[in-house]
Amino acid sequence: MSTLKGVIFSLRDVVVKSGKMDAAIFEEFKRLVLWLVANGLRPVFVGNNSWTITSTDGTKTPFQDFVAANIGEFDWFMADSSPMPYKPQKASMEYVLNQFGWEKHEAVYVGNTETDMRTARNGGLLFLNALWHGEASDYGFKFDSPKDIARFIDCFYIGIHGWFWALEDEDLRVYSLAPFSTMSEKYKDAHGFSYHARNTAKSGGGDPVFWGRLLASSVYSSGLAEDISFVTSYPGHSTASAEPSVNKALTIFADCMQAKFVPDLLVRYATAQKSQNARIAGKAVGVKNQIDTIHLNPAPLKSKKGDRYKSPPLKKGKTVLIVDDFCTQGNSFEAARAYISATGANALCLSWLKTINTDYAAVKPMVSVENPYVPNTIEDEPVKEVYRFSSHVANPAATSDLNVVFQKYYHWDWP
């Protein structure tokens, strides 16, 4: 997972409000910019037109000079006086990124206006919607203050250094942020955030904003976002299960990445036996339990307005990000992969947490699903290849990283 290198700021309604200066907000914005510099991140300012600021005596000063005098010298790209193409063209952010040799996922865009939204989206940049001067666009992850953006970057970028668990083997790609453990002494640092995650996912408590932003920023900073065409959540075990708590955050993330969030892509048409209940009863529940109770929706939701696809959207060359709360043996992911692969599309699997000391059982060869848009029943539990839990712990430090972030996030303040 790469390190964030730069933060690109629009001017209008971010630094100032329609040419008017709010001294208190400007001071906190200054604090944000200097905090970024102190943490090794590069602030960059972009706009379509060069600005001037008028003092009380009528003196006009180029806005770039005003910022230099009051905050410091930074990189500026104004389309009317530099080779940067005008926003919101895709080429405008491509130009800026190329000046520093940055990949898309190594920078984020802070803006507020509709033009800012389209600039970030066209450029494939995660959009941080600055609301401290008011809301101009109902888009992106929303932040009420410069301090809130500093907290987001500190916790979800500076504080997180890679996937805890990662399995990559040809078309099999599975990732988890951290371990799930509420009792193990070895993973004692995981107890607090594991309880919190379980409460968020299963009980309607916790904090879906925290987990949603953490998931989205992790996928974005890893570079995986550039491969994603669709995003969906894996459904609960029951036909009556509530909508997954992080769906709102995943919708925002998909919009930013020019992907589509399709909440009902995977249909739970029959209740599946819960693995935990089966284990308590001394029974084994495998992939068949999931394959026999889901199928793909041929006409999933296409937009927030309720429009639906007129024909199935999955096909060869498309990639679906499947998000589930906890990964144990991988039964849910393997069932989803069976249906998605039947369309010719690829699957990318992401869980919040990976159950410790439990191996992943991948279906090999993949089950053949004749028609993925109707219920299917397979005769026997499919053949699997086991991937050892310990062999795919990619970043053992992720446990302590997330523990520190989890504690810091709710008490964050300027250093």
From the CB of residue 162, how many other CB atoms can be counted at a distance below 10 Å?
17
* Rounded Cα–Cα distance for residues 241 and 209 (Å): 20
Q: Would you tell me how many other CB atoms lie within 10 Å of the CB of residue 19?
A: 12
Mean confidence (pLDDT) of the chain: 94
Q: How large is the average pLDDT for residues 77-98?
A: 97
Cβ within 8 Å of residue 334, ≥6 positions away: 287, 290, 361, 362, 363, 384
| Pure H helices in 292-347 | 331-341
Beta bridge partners of 172: 169
Contact by Cβ (8 Å): 156, 213: yes
Q: What angle do CA 279, 284, 290 make, to 5 degrees?
A: 105
pLDDT in tens, 329-375: 999 999 999 999 999 999 999 999 999 999 999 999 999 999 999 99
pLDDT tens-place string over residues 104-146? 999 999 999 999 999 999 999 999 999 999 887 788 999 999 9
Share of the chain above pLDDT 70, in %: 97
The backbone torsions φ and ψ at residue 321, rounded to the nearest 5 degrees and listed phi first, read: -90, 120
pLDDT, tens only, 67-78: 999 999 999 999
For residue 304, what pLDDT is reported? 75
For the chain, which domains are there?
6-158 (3.40.50.1000), 165-402 (3.40.50)
349 in Cβ contact with 175 (< 8 Å) = yes
CA 305 to chain centroid: 22
pLDDT in tens, 191-236: 999 999 999 999 888 999 999 999 999 999 999 998 999 999 999 9
Strand, helix or coil for residue 14 = coil
Q: State how far the Cα of 217 lies from the Cα of 237, in Å rounded to an integer.
A: 27
Cα dihedral across residues 349, 352, 356, 358: positive or negative = negative
Report residue 144 CA to chain centroid gap.
19
Q: How many CB atoms lie within 10 A of CB 83?
A: 8
Distance CA 201, CA 219 (A): 19
Question: Which residue(s) pair with 230 in the sheet?
Answer: 260, 320
